[in-house]
Amino acid sequence: MRKILASTLLFAVALSANPAAALDSSSPPVVVTPLADRTQTASGQPIMLPQKNVQVLVSTYDIAVGATLPVHKHPFARYAYVEAGTLKVTNVETGNSNTYKTGDFIVEMIGQWHQATNVGDGPVKLLVIDQVEQGAKNTILQKQ
């Protein structure tokens, strides 16, 4: 059921980008290009969704050249699509890092402390989708 809900949501977002073209019979057929197919987070955890009152939050992030986000973790699933730039994400618990570039899809680690740095020569632009329990936040900053 949750997979159907997520698939329906993503399809609705795609259509809402240009609903007139999607409904106009004179427009070309819809072309779907798969970008990712994941069952695990960046650190190998199974993807787990909230068990009640799911709320979907969609936001964009613009990260300046050389900027580093504070150490943080996510209690719920977070997905990010890199629209531009190069982002290095480091799991501060294990020391393992992954570098993501334009066009990459990220399934962020859940419940593990990590941070991200723009390591490219231009700004990083992310489209971020969170699935949380309604009213909850999905970023917890590590206390200094």
* Mean pLDDT value of segment 107-131: 97
* Candidate from 39-53, 92-106, 111-125 with smallest mean pLDDT: 39-53
Q: Which helix (H) or strand (E) holds 106?
A: strand 105-107
Residues 6 or more apart from 4 whose CB is under 8 A from it?
none
pLDDT score for 25: 62
Cβ atoms of 142 and 72 within 8 Å: the answer is yes
Cβ atoms of 94 and 33 within 8 Å: the answer is no
Tens digit of pLDDT for each residue in 5-63? 444 444 444 444 444 444 556 778 998 888 889 899 999 998 888 889 999 999 999 99
Cβ atoms of 69 and 126 within 8 Å: the answer is no
Strand partners, 24: none
pLDDT at 92 over 90: yes
